[in-house]
C-alpha cells in the first residue's frame, strides 16, 4: 500500500506547489494523475520517488516512510535517459550489479523480450527510434521488480500509434508482477486505456479535486461505449476542476 497523507510542498521562494494531498493506492492498482498545467503532478511524483522533500505530511510504502530514493520505487521519465556508452542490454541491467550474473542476464533477456526488443540487445541507444528507446527505459524500470512504479508522461513525445503500442507493452509487464503504478498524463485517452482510477488535480495550489473509477475490462478498446463514457466523465471532472481554480482567490505563490 502506498499511503500519502496531508502532503504539502512549498519551495524556498514561497511557491506553494502542493497542499494537503491525501491518497491511498493499494498494491497493484494503476492510478493516473491528470490535471491542467501547474497543478503539481510532477512535483507529487518527485516526492514519492524521494527526489525531493515534502514541506509537510508523509509518504509511506507498506508503512515505511519515504523521504529519499527507495529501492522499491522505480521511475520512468518523460525522456528515456539512457546511458549512451552502454548497450541496450547493459542499460536495462544498470542497477542489478548485486545479482548473480546468470540471474541478471535472465531478467534482462525476459524484460527485453516483453517489450519486443530482444533482437536489439547488443545495439547502442543512438541506433534506436524514440519509441524503442522508451521501451528500453520501461524494461529497465520493471527489471528491478519495483513495488511502486512512477511514470512521468513517458509517452507524450510519441506518435499515437507508437504510444498505443507501448501501452500494450507496459500492461504486459505490469500483469506479471502487479506493481502499484502512478502515471502522470495530460492525455485523457491514455488514462482510460491504462488506469484503474483517474485522480483529477486542481492548481493554485496543487490538490486533489476528484476521482473517477475506471472499472473496465482489459484489453480496452478506446472506441467502445464504456471507454467513451469514461473519457467524457474525466473531461467533465477536468472542466469542473479548472472552473474551481479560476474561481479561487488569486495567490501569487501558487505553482
For residues 108-121, average pLDDT: 92
Q: 222 pLDDT band (50/70/90 cuts)? A: confident
Percent of the chain topping pLDDT 90:
65
On whether the CB atoms of residues 255 and 43 are closer than 8 A, the answer is: yes
In a 3-state reduction of DSSP, which class is residue 211? strand
Q: 196 pLDDT band (50/70/90 cuts)? A: very high
Distance CA 164, CA 222 (A): 10
Q: Helices (H) and strands (E) in the chain — how many of each?
A: 7, 10
Q: 169 pLDDT band (50/70/90 cuts)? A: confident
Sequence-separated (6 or more) residues with CB below 8 Å from residue 24: 1, 2, 3, 4
pLDDT at 254: 40
pLDDT at 36: 82
pLDDT tens-digit profile of 5-27?
A: 999 999 988 889 999 999 999 99
Buried b / exposed e over 213-231, threshold 16 CB at 10 Å, is ebebeeebeeeeeebeebb
All three cell numbers of 51, joined, read 527526489
pLDDT at 255: 37
Distance CA 67, CA 49 (A): 8
Measured CA to CA in angstroms, residue 156 lies from 144, 180, 205 at distances of 24, 21, 24
Q: Could you give all domains of the chain from N- to C-terminal order, each with its CATH number?
A: 1-72+147-255 (3.40.50.300), 76-145 (no CATH)
Query: Does the pLDDT at position 88 exceed 90?
Result: yes
Q: What is the pTM of this model?
A: 0.90
40-49, 131-140, 233-242, 246-255: range with lowest mean pLDDT = 246-255
Distance of CA 124 to the CA centre of its chain: 25
For residues 64-70, average pLDDT: 90
pLDDT at 112: 93
Amino acid at each position: 500500500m502506498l499511503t500519502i497523507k496531508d502532503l504539502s510542498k512549498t519551495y524556498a521562494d514561497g511557491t506553494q506547489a502542493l497542499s494537503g494531498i491525501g491518497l491511498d493506492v493499494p498494491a497493484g492498482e494503476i492510478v493516473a494523475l491528470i490535471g491542467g498545467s501547474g497543478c503539481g503532478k510532477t512535483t507529487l511524483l518527485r516526492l514519492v520517488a524521494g527526489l525531493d522533500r515534502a514541506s509537510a505530511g508523509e509518504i509511506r510504502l507498506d508503512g515505511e516512510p519515504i523521504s529519499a530514493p527507495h529501492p522499491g520505487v522505480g521511475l520512468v521519465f518523460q525522456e528515456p535517459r539512457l546511458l549512451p556508452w552502454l548497450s541496450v542490454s547493459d542499460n536495462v541491467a544498470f542497477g542489478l550489479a548485486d545479482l548473480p550474473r546468470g540471474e541478471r542476464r535472465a531478467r534482462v533477456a525476459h524484460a527485453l523480450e516483453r517489450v519486443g526488443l530482444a533482437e536489439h540487445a547488443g545495439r547502442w541507444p543512438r541506433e534506436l527510434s524514440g519509441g524503442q528507446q522508451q521501451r528500453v527505459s520501461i524494461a529497465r524500470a520493471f527489471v528491478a521488480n519495483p513495488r511502486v512504479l512512477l511514470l512521468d508522461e513517458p509517452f507524450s513525445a510519441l506518435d499515437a500509434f507508437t504510444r498505443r503500442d507501448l501501452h500494450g507493452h507496459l500492461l504486459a509487464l505490469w500483469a506479471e508482477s502487479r506493481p502499484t503504478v502512478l502515471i502522470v498524463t495530460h492525455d485523457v485517452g491514455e488514462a482510460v486505456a491504462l488506469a484503474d482510477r483517474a485522480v483529477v488535480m486542481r492548481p493554485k495550489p496543487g490538490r486533489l479535486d476528484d476521482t473517477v473509477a475506471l472499472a473496465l475490462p482489459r484489453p480496452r478498446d478506446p472506441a467502445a461505449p464504456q471507454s467513451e463514457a469514461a473519457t467524457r466523465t474525466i473531461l467533465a471532472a477536468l472542466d469542473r476542476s479548472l472552473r474551481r481554480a479560476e474561481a479561487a482567490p488569486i495567490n501569487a505563490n501558487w505553482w
